Amino acid sequence: MPEGHTIHRLAAALNELYGGQNLHASSPQGRFADGASRLDGQVLLGGQAHGKHLFLPFGPRPDMLLDDASVTWLRIHLGLYGSWTFDGDREFTAPHAIGAPRRRVGERGEHALKGGGGSALAGLKGGSVGVDPGEDTEGTGADSRGCPAPEDWEPPEPRGAVRLRLLGRHGVADLTGPAACELLDAEGVA
C-alpha cells in the first residue's frame, strides 16, 4: 500500500503537471462517470496529501480560494492496488506511475526526465514551463527520444479499468484501482 510519502509525491506531481490548467475529466470504466462529469472543464487548484489520502481541489477559475463554496474536492485513497499512470507529449515529463507498482518490461520508472537524478520530482513538466524538447533528428516531428510534438500527440487508449482520466494540454493521468474516489464539498473536507 502506498505510504504517506508516496501520496505527498503524487500531490506535488499532479500540482506541477496540471495545476492551474482546465482539465478534461472522464471515467473510461464508468464507475466514476458522475464525478468525472462534474470535474470536466474545471481547473486543478493544487494537490494536498493528508496521511494516505490525496485531496485535489477543482474550481471554475485558477485564482480561487480553496474555501470558496464553488470548489469541488476529489478525495482519493489508493489502497493496496491503486495508482496513477502518466503519459504525454515531449513537453510532458513525469514518472510512468506513482502508487502500486506498474512497471513495463525494460522500463526504468520514468520517461523523458531531463538531466536525471535529483529529487523525486526533478524534471517534472506539464507544459506550463516547457523543457528542452530535443531536436527533430529525422524531420518526423518526433524528437531524439522518439516523443511526438505537442500538436501531433494523441493520448493513448486507457489500459485496464481506469476509474478517472485527467487530460491536460500536454499529458494524461489515469487513476486505476483506488480504494476510494469521491467528490466532497468544502464542508466534507473540513
Q: How many domains does the chain have?
A: 1
10 Å Cβ neighbour count for 118? 9
pLDDT at 160: 82
Residue 152 DSSP symbol: G
pLDDT at 88: 87
CATH number for the domain harbouring residue 97: 3.20.190.10
* Residues in contact with 102: Cβ distance below 8 Å, sequence separation at least 6, in sequence order: 83, 85, 96
Residue 27 sits in which domain range? Answer: 4-189
Q: What backbone torsions phi and psi does residue 34 show, to the nearest 5 degrees? A: -65, -45
pLDDT at 79: 92
Tens of pLDDT, residue by residue, the chain (190 residues): 667 788 998 999 899 889 999 999 999 999 999 999 999 999 999 999 999 999 999 999 999 999 999 999 999 999 988 999 988 888 877 666 666 554 443 444 444 433 333 333 444 555 433 233 344 434 444 444 344 455 677 888 888 899 999 999 889 999 999 999 999 998 888 7
